[in-house]
Structure 1
Amino acid sequence: MAAIYLIRHGQANTKSADYDMLSDLGKEQAKLIAQPLADKCISPDSLTIGGMKRHQQTADLALSSCQVDADKALKDIGWNEYDHQAILAGLDERLRTPEGIRQYFIENNLQKHQFRTVFIEAMHKWMKSNNCEIYPESWQEFSNRVEKAFDSVLDKVEQNHFVFTSGGPISLVVARLLGLDKEQFMTINWNLVNAGITKILVNKQTGQLSLSCLNEHTIFDKEEHRNKLSYT
């Protein structure tokens, strides 16, 4: 029985114009990934890293204490996240940047907790549209490339294969394994923690797949790490 570990990156730098890099908290989270894997004596015999900076940074930090060379990993942009800034801008151009989001919320008298409602509205608009003049990547293109990336990993997994990726691709793969409509992936996505680990078992003889563990993050249950838990 082989296993694929889908590892979500640490917290991105949400307060910076360059979102695609780990925040200080994200770096701490990435370092913590190594501990639960080491406790279970799990090390990868093969690796895939998405094409985003936060994927590479997470892999480097998570594997540094495992004596695993992340430079030998396969790079696959199929595991990249959807462009949330472009998707938000498809709802309202002001939502493209952190500063624009602040202004939008002030002008519309919205509270911080209402961001989820705005984001889901933007996602639903994206999923119903095939207009590439608005979005650099359509919903169908996104789902197709993630499916292709996952199938590529299935072809090469031998024992333990680590994939460093984002919440969107993980959620889409999980929806497939659970037999859910692809559009339901956001229900999963919204509940994934940064640096969470999802494990998929692969029967190499039959090709059967089973979801063994979703969003494992017990490392954050420890008192000294509880303040490091985040979702965005």
Structure 2
Amino acid sequence: MGSIYLIRHGQASFGADDYDVLSPLGVRQAEVLGDHLAELGIRFDRCVSGSLRRQQHTASAALQRSVAAGLAAPELEIDAAFNEFDAESVIHGLLPAMLPDEPDALTILGNPKEHRAAFQHLFARIIDRWVTGQYDQPNHETWQGFVDTVRGGLERLLAQAARGDKIAVFTSGGTITALLHLVTGMPAGSAFDMNWQIVNTSLSRLQFRGSEVTLASFNSRVHLELLKAPELITYR
């Protein structure tokens, strides 16, 4: 059977003007992952990333460490199907109708770094509405549209894969959530309950035979835990 390793990007710049940049800790997480993959002797037949900078930077930092340890790595391919969903679009589409029940929402969103717990509560409420499809707004990304895009990326991977291939996909938490939903059939809400637990640079693995795909492991972070440095365990 072949394997698809789903790798969440390293810590991004939460609360900054530009989120799509790895923090110094995010770079370190990616390097630790690369060292771990090299120690395991995992040689990828293909490496794919979404087009977001935090995804590509995670890939390059991890693969550079593997190459430095003597493992060959294929050229990184870019497929935007593995991008994160457009959270800004989702928030802007759904928040106005929620403001009567969330009077502090604009303050929280204006400075999420200073209101982390409140932001997570608000964002989870928005996502709960989003995945139902009942509140879809014109010109804003829908959950079903996002899932269809991710499904297309997975189908392309499988169509191009050889038997026994090991494929790395550097992606994001929402994309991994959509894949959990597609592969296991679990409801979207249940998949997002798991999403909130996905650690930066964690490894989840899908196994495939032809077009048949199963979940083999989820959210492994042993490469970070082995260093016994709690600050390496982050979720954004």
The two structures share one fold, judged by TM-score above 0.5: yes
> Can you give the 5+ residue segments of structure 1 that lack an aligned partner in the other structure?
106-110
1:156 is aligned to 2:166: no
The residue correspondences of 1:1-232 to structure 2 (distance < 5 A) are: 1-67=1-67, 68=72, 72-89=75-92, 90-92=94-96, 100-102=110-112, 112-127=116-131, 128=133, 129-133=135-139, 135=140, 137-158=141-162, 159-204=165-210, 207-232=211-236
C-alpha contact (below 8 Å) 1:81/1:167 kept by paired residues: yes
- Note the aligned Cα RMSD (angstroms): 2.5
Conserved in 2, the CA contact under 8 Å of 1:51 and 1:75? yes
User: Does the 8 Å contact 2:51/2:80 carry over to 1?
Assistant: yes
Alpha-carbon distance between aligned partners in 2 of 1:208 and 1:86, rounded to the nearest angstrom: 33
Residues 29-38 or 45-54, more deviating: 29-38
- After the TM superposition, which segments of 4 or more aligned residues of structure 1 sit over 4 Å from their partners? 92-99
Q: Tell me, what secondary structure is at the counterpart of 2:12?
A: coil
CA shift for structure 1 position 24: 1.1
Residue 145 of structure 2 aligns to a residue in which SS? helix
Q: How many residues align?
A: 221
| Contact 2:15 2:111 (8 Å CA) reproduced | no
C-alpha displacement of 1:63 = 0.1
Q: Deviations over 1:28-82 (max 9, x none)?
A: 1111111222222112111211010001100000000222556x22211111101
Match for residue 108 of structure 1?
none
TM-score by length of 1: 0.85
Distance, in Å, in 1 between the alignment partners of 2:107 and 2:157 is: 34
